[in-house]
Chains A and B, each alone.
Chain A
């Protein structure tokens, strides 16, 4: 029986068309992903080249004034992009993965946006995540909506029903074949991704594959439940599409709105003003008071007393740092707000499989908000490390040639935080759906 059902399935023109379109979309998404990785690599190389040329040139011009040299010098911290990010771009086109900073106030530099076309961002990126979240379920719908209805409408249903226990076995067999084909398509896509983009076969990749598998299984089960309502093909198609629209388009967007309204983030702007005022207003305040605040933060700098001159690099860099310090309450408040938004989105993931899939895969690909916040933290530590290294040299008025500038190459940062990878919500969904399938498996007196 299975062989015949299999052949019957593939004879349909729609099946073939759906498969072709899906594979084309997946192929394009892989091409796009590969370009994305290549572009990231290119940008990193540009920063490397720029940094070394930049240091060389400036050291030459300002070898006698270390303080002035450090005003201009920039150092970079780069957020490594794992190959998996080619499949799941996440927020990496919105949040910059390059920090190229001077030792002056970090708060004024940390949030600098990268160059992006807002129109492209609005239309959305064609990565494999999009294909997986939106297109695969549509293909599943195309395969399943006719499962029962085509037999009923062609008149072959009574014949099939008579042959095997109320017909459920036939429906199940048909469903199984379609599910197998969908899983094979997923496997094919993943294999293509690995070969074409060169994704390493590590735990992260297998977790990604696992999540994808579970997600599609949920859709297959959901489709089966709706098919078992035994409506005609038109109504089934409409129902399936409405569910698809609700879960992938409407409900996540509604949740996004709710989160945005519930947690407006205005702390960001307060932090900016606090940092700017915190630094600039010090020009007009008592120098010793400023230095006392600076020594309180870095007691080891007490050995550099404030010179009597109107302007000194010690006082200047102390002011810059205190700008950051004064902005701290606001930056921390902003952090809290973002974390609250993130937590709310996590909760939404329990009810909406597409949201959960996106969260988990973006976390694996290190392109989510959590990882970006870690990168920002790391930038702050990087910044402090640089400052503490250069402060003594500036404050003691060292000569530029005493420093080994070759040692300053761009550093790479690789975060290691993963959003909850447990599959409890998915399992709950599947249990719920399987229960419904058992409940609906026998034909009821339907009104149609």
Chain B
């Protein structure tokens, strides 16, 4: 019975591998590294969570403690948005290391998100951090190669393969059997890291992916299971189609080097060269130039603002700004804020689109290179991908706009129209208004939104799954047995 044969082959391969001292040694080393990575990431997550929380509260306290003052002062007082990490970042830090953590939100000015972990790293930036994901994506395939390169090729060399086949074992059965054995081995290797990671998730305070932990972890684990299976079958296939074990090892190493180490970097470099991004200066200059076309608020005789004043006066049937029932300065501030925000955001979205184009080269490669595919899938499931980061930036900007316009509308409503003299005290409104504006709260990206962005990577793994099964089941009959 065919299934019985596959089971026997798988069992034999697995037991033989387990008994080898090298396997045990590799397993111990890999497990120690995985557990260390998970625990260290967990520690850092907890610290980061505490720090971000405490500073967010401090900033809020500072905001609320303001005495009665002019709302425009409050608009400039501003507040900070601190970026919370997703709990899943324990397993895959993704972009977290390089993305900023704090942004100052004030009226008139859009500030960048500063203080990335990488910017504060003591010169070890380029070495990156150790995470369960890096171990599973880069190191595990190599280990599987070490364990599986001889699976069929050494049998070929020793002559065993001839005997097996002559006794009725088909190549597909042998390949599937050994692949299943290798896959179960892979599961053994993945277990400590995934277990530790899931425990860390369970014990970690809710982060930027609150309430989604189970789904995202499930998606994460599934992706890696698929990746491990593709790896196992590919290695056994490589072994089947090589004349000697040494040849299969060398070919496997070459593939790993090119696909896991070299290609991702080369592709991203190509993406960057093909789609360059402007400097901050260039973008700010472009925004300024567009703003001026809309009316230069610095220029007192500007025609645009004159037109606005005239139309407002006409609409309210008065001839002087000071006779209006609301504060004209407040209205101007609201108009100005809206204009500048619209223009700046348009430029920002253009920039994000350019980033997307840069990344698309790598993402498309996921259809061909499983290492690219798993990297993207892993990051997206862990809420540490580009979309999540951009969602933080957009939410922070939206809050900034809300803060500015709330203060501006308070000015419009409550501040008298007559200009104070040089020795008069400034106009103020009650400080009870400050509490009315809620604090910034990051809303996590829903799982299905993330999922929709992962289709290319998922398709890539899907293609490889089909390919490997096809090769193993059908094409492998052509592999030579001698």
For B95, list chain A residues within 8 Å (CB).
118-119, 121-122
User: With an 8 A cutoff between CB atoms, is A90 at the interface?
Assistant: yes
Nearest chain B CB to A322 CB, angstrom units: 16
Q: Which segment, of B6-14, B267-275, B400-408, faces chain A?
A: B267-275
List residues of B (319-340) whose CB comes within 8 Å of A's CBs. Answer: none
Known: A46-B282, A126-B265, A272-B104. A245 touches B139 (CB 8 A): yes
For A260, list chain B residues within 8 Å (CB).
44, 117, 121, 129
For B282, list chain A residues within 8 Å (CB).
43, 46
User: With an 8 A cutoff between CB atoms, is A241 at the interface?
Assistant: yes
CA distance A219 to B202 in the complex (A): 43
User: With an 8 A cutoff between CB atoms, is A305 at the interface?
Assistant: no
The one of A46, A250, A338 in contact with B130, judged by C-beta atoms closer than 8 angstroms, is A250
For B249, list chain A residues within 8 Å (CB).
234, 237-238
For B115, list chain A residues within 8 Å (CB).
111, 268-269
CA distance A248 to B296 in the complex (A): 55
Q: Mark A337-364, 1 if CB is under 8 A from B, else 0.
A: 1101111111010000011001100100
Asked if B51 contacts A123 (CB within 8 A), the reply is no
Beyond contacts A269-B82, A345-B124: 12 other A-B pairs, Cβ-Cβ < 8 A, are A28-B266, A100-B281, A113-B100, A121-B118, A126-B265, A138-B257, A241-B142, A241-B253, A261-B40, A273-B80, A310-B423, A338-B120
List residues of B (237-293) whose CB comes within 8 Å of A's CBs. Answer: 245-246, 249-250, 253-254, 257-258, 261-262, 264-266, 268-269, 271-273, 276-285
Asked if B423 contacts A308 (CB within 8 A), the reply is yes
Binding site for A on B (CB under 8 A): 33, 36-37, 40-41, 43-44, 47-48, 51, 55, 58-59, 62, 66-67, 69, 73, 76-78, 80, 82, 94-95, 97-102, 104, 111-130, 134, 138-139, 142, 146, 149-150, 245-246, 249-250, 253-254, 257-258, 261-262, 264-266, 268-269, 271-273, 276-285, 296, 298-299, 351, 355, 358-359, 362, 386, 389, 420, 422-426
For A345, list chain B residues within 8 Å (CB).
122-124
Instruction: Jot down 19 A-B pairs with beta carbons below 8 A, ordered by A.
Output: A14-B250, A43-B279, A61-B299, A98-B280, A117-B358, A118-B386, A120-B358, A123-B264, A124-B128, A238-B249, A249-B138, A250-B130, A253-B128, A273-B58, A273-B62, A310-B420, A340-B122, A342-B122, A348-B124
CA distance A78 to B48 in the complex (A): 32
Known: A108-B104, A253-B128, A358-B126. A46 touches B281 (CB 8 A): yes
Asked if A90 contacts B279 (CB within 8 A), the reply is no
Nearest chain A CB to B204 CB, angstrom units: 15
For A130, list chain B residues within 8 Å (CB).
126, 265
CA distance A223 to B276 in the complex (A): 41
Asked if A338 contacts B122 (CB within 8 A), the reply is yes
List the 9 closest pairs (A to B, CB-CB), nearest first: A341-B122, A252-B127, A253-B130, A121-B98, A43-B279, A342-B122, A123-B268, A118-B95, A256-B124
Known: A111-B115, A257-B40. A118 touches B99 (CB 8 A): yes
The one of A100, A124, A341 in contact with B265, judged by C-beta atoms closer than 8 angstroms, is A124
CA distance A260 to B258 in the complex (A): 31
For A14, list chain B residues within 8 Å (CB).
250
Asked if B424 contacts A259 (CB within 8 A), the reply is no
Nearest chain B CB to A223 CB, angstrom units: 15
CA distance A62 to B264 in the complex (A): 52
Asked if A117 contacts B359 (CB within 8 A), the reply is yes
CA distance A113 to B422 in the complex (A): 39
Nearest chain A CB to B92 CB, angstrom units: 11
A contacts with B: majority SS:
helix
Asked if B120 contacts A341 (CB within 8 A), the reply is yes
CA distance A35 to B119 in the complex (A): 22
For A124, list chain B residues within 8 Å (CB).
126, 128, 265, 268
CA distance A253 to B97 in the complex (A): 12
The one of A237, A255, A272, A280 in contact with B253, judged by C-beta atoms closer than 8 angstroms, is A237
Asked if B104 contacts A119 (CB within 8 A), the reply is no
Asked if B280 contacts A114 (CB within 8 A), the reply is yes
CA distance A196 to B77 in the complex (A): 51
Asked if B250 contacts A237 (CB within 8 A), the reply is yes
For A241, list chain B residues within 8 Å (CB).
142, 253
For A100, list chain B residues within 8 Å (CB).
281
The one of B101, B129, B277, B279 in contact with A117, judged by C-beta atoms closer than 8 angstroms, is B277
Known: A46-B282, A98-B279, A237-B249. A111 touches B114 (CB 8 A): yes
CA distance A237 to B273 in the complex (A): 35
For A273, list chain B residues within 8 Å (CB).
55, 58-59, 62, 80
Known: A113-B114, A237-B250, A338-B120. A28 touches B281 (CB 8 A): no
Asked if B246 contacts A280 (CB within 8 A), the reply is no
Chain B residue at minimal CB-CB distance from A346 = B123
The one of B122, B149, B253, B362 in contact with A123, judged by C-beta atoms closer than 8 angstroms, is B362
Asked if A115 contacts B351 (CB within 8 A), the reply is yes
Nearest chain B CB to A377 CB, angstrom units: 16
Asked if A98 contacts B33 (CB within 8 A), the reply is no
Chain A residue at minimal CB-CB distance from B245 = A234
Asked if B124 contacts A120 (CB within 8 A), the reply is no
Asked if A120 contacts B271 (CB within 8 A), the reply is yes
For A268, list chain B residues within 8 Å (CB).
102, 115, 120
CA distance A343 to B77 in the complex (A): 37
The one of B40, B253, B281 in contact with A47, judged by C-beta atoms closer than 8 angstroms, is B281
CA distance A234 to B51 in the complex (A): 49
Nearest chain B CB to A38 CB, angstrom units: 10
Asked if B121 contacts A341 (CB within 8 A), the reply is yes
Known: A46-B285, A268-B115, A272-B104. A119 touches B268 (CB 8 A): yes
Q: Mark A259-280, 1 if CB is under 8 A from B, else 0.
A: 1110111101110110011001
Chain B residue at minimal CB-CB distance from A129 = B126
Nearest chain A CB to B291 CB, angstrom units: 12
Nearest chain A CB to B135 CB, angstrom units: 9
Known: A46-B279, A98-B280. A257 touches B130 (CB 8 A): yes
For A264, list chain B residues within 8 Å (CB).
44, 47-48, 51
Known: A124-B265, A259-B124. A61 touches B97 (CB 8 A): no
Nearest chain A CB to B105 CB, angstrom units: 11
Asked if B37 contacts A257 (CB within 8 A), the reply is yes
For B280, list chain A residues within 8 Å (CB).
96, 98, 112, 114-115
User: With an 8 A cutoff between CB atoms, is A15 at the interface?
Assistant: no
For A346, list chain B residues within 8 Å (CB).
123
Asked if A91 contacts B125 (CB within 8 A), the reply is yes
Nearest chain B CB to A400 CB, angstrom units: 14
Known: A28-B266, A256-B121, A310-B423. A283 touches B358 (CB 8 A): no
For B150, list chain A residues within 8 Å (CB).
234
User: With an 8 A cutoff between CB atoms, is A95 at the interface?
Assistant: yes
For A94, list chain B residues within 8 Å (CB).
98, 116, 118-119, 125
For A309, list chain B residues within 8 Å (CB).
422-423
Q: Mark A209-244, 1 if CB is under 8 A from B, else 0.
A: 000000000000000000000000110011001000
CA distance A284 to B70 in the complex (A): 11
Nearest chain A CB to B391 CB, angstrom units: 13
Chain B residue at minimal CB-CB distance from A72 = B298
Asked if B125 contacts A123 (CB within 8 A), the reply is no
User: With an 8 A cutoff between CB atoms, is A32 at the interface?
Assistant: yes
Asked if A252 contacts B124 (CB within 8 A), the reply is yes
From B120, B278, B355, name the one whose CB has the most chain A CB atoms within 10 angstroms.
B120
For B268, list chain A residues within 8 Å (CB).
119-120, 123-124, 126
For A255, list chain B residues within 8 Å (CB).
124, 127
Asked if A62 contacts B130 (CB within 8 A), the reply is no
Nearest chain A CB to B37 CB, angstrom units: 7
User: With an 8 A cutoff between CB atoms, is A134 at the interface?
Assistant: yes
User: With an 8 A cutoff between CB atoms, is A50 at the interface?
Assistant: yes
The one of B129, B277, B362 in contact with A257, judged by C-beta atoms closer than 8 angstroms, is B129
CA distance A370 to B125 in the complex (A): 13
For B296, list chain A residues within 8 Å (CB).
61
Asked if B98 contacts A250 (CB within 8 A), the reply is no
User: With an 8 A cutoff between CB atoms, is A254 at the interface?
Assistant: yes
Known: A118-B95, A122-B94, A122-B98. A259 touches B47 (CB 8 A): no
